[in-house]
């Protein structure tokens, strides 16, 4: 499915709709990415993003053939609430791989199982509709919550990337984790 981005994309899970993000969602997203508590695990968020920068980023993501950024919307029929984003990046149709990223930006919705649900839905799309073979990610070894979450949905640690990431003046180790399509198929 090479022209997947031109098609209408409808991904949903039990409680979430995963919808390609639009420029108009920028203001809400800005609140999370300028909140140090939410984005302390990311180097590029310095707490001072402007709405113009965020809109430019969202447009770049929408236009990029190697990125796929989705808003995570709770839709219970009565209201629709944007609670986070997830996406595939560095999509490589030669090797059939992509890197997964996720943020639940509304902290009041942490530990309600939304990230697990979103990742499962996104993996289903990646392996079934996009026909990818392997989804990987890098996570701080100290981010126990995220490591637990990724392992729970079937990612395996492939190795430790030593002193991989420079943050707050120091170098930190990261786990490279990944899941293969055949592992995913066995788990669903
Ligand atoms: C990491 C993040 C995506 C998780 O989202 P979430 O919706 O709260 O996750 P879920 O509710 O689906 O699952 C959380 C799991 O971690 C567990 N958990 C919570 N705190 C934990 C901790 N300190 N250590 C280990 N596990 C923890 C929960 O119990 C739950 O597991 P369970 O279902 O076995 O009980 C979210 O906290 C976030 O966006 N954090 C900031 C950005 C970030 O770190 N992104 C990942 C970068 S690689």
pLDDT value of position 2: 47
Give the whole-number percent of the chain exceeding pLDDT 70.
94
If pLDDT is split at 50, 70 and 90, which confidence band does 1 have?
very low
The number of distinct structural domains making up the chain is: 1
The stretch 37-60 carries a mean pLDDT of: 82
The pLDDT tens digits for 61-85 are 988 999 999 999 997 777 789 999 9
148 lines ligand 1 (CB under 6 A): yes
Position 70 in a domain: yes
Instruction: Give the distance (Å) from ligand 1 centre to CA of residue 159.
Output: 21
- Pick the residue whose CA is nearest to atom 1 on ligand 1: 146
Contact call for residues 101 and 86 (beta carbons, < 8 A): yes
Look up the CATH number of the domain holding residue 121: 3.40.630.30
pTM for the model: 0.94
Residue 35's nearest CA partner among 81, 95, 103 is 103
Residue 65 lies in domain:
4-133
Position 182 in a domain: no
177 lines ligand 1 (CB under 6 A): no
171 Rama sector, left if φ>0, alpha if ψ -120 to 50, beta otherwise? beta
144 lines ligand 1 (CB under 6 A): yes
The pLDDT tens digits for 99-110 are 999 999 999 999
Position 185 in a domain: no
Position 171 in a domain: no
- Pick the residue whose CA is nearest to atom 37 on ligand 1: 110
Q: Which residues are catalytic?
A: 150
């Amino acid at each position: 499915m090479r022209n997947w981005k031109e098609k209408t994309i409808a991904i949903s899970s039990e409680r979430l709709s995963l919808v390609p993000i639009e420029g108009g969602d920028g203001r809400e997203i800005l609140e999370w990415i300028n909140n140090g508590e939410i984005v302390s695990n990311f180097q590029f968020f310095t707490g001072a993003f402007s709405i113009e920068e965020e809109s430019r980023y969202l447009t770049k993501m929408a236009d990029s053939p190697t990125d796929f950024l989705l808003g995570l919307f709770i839709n219970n029929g009565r209201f629709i609430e944007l609670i986070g984003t997830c996406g595939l990046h560095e999509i490589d149709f030669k090797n059939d791989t992509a890197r997964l990223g996720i943020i639940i930006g509304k902290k009041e919705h942490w530990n309600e199982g939304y990230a697990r649900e979103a990742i499962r839905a996104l993996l289903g799309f990646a392996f079934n509709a996009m026909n990818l073979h392997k989804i990987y990610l890098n996570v701080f070894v100290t981010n126990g919550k995220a490591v637990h979450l990724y392992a729970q949905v079937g990612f395996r640690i492939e190795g430790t990337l030593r002193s991989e990431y420079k943050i707050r003046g120091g170098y930190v180790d990261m786990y490279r984790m990944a899941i293969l399509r055949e592992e995913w198929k066995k788990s669903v």
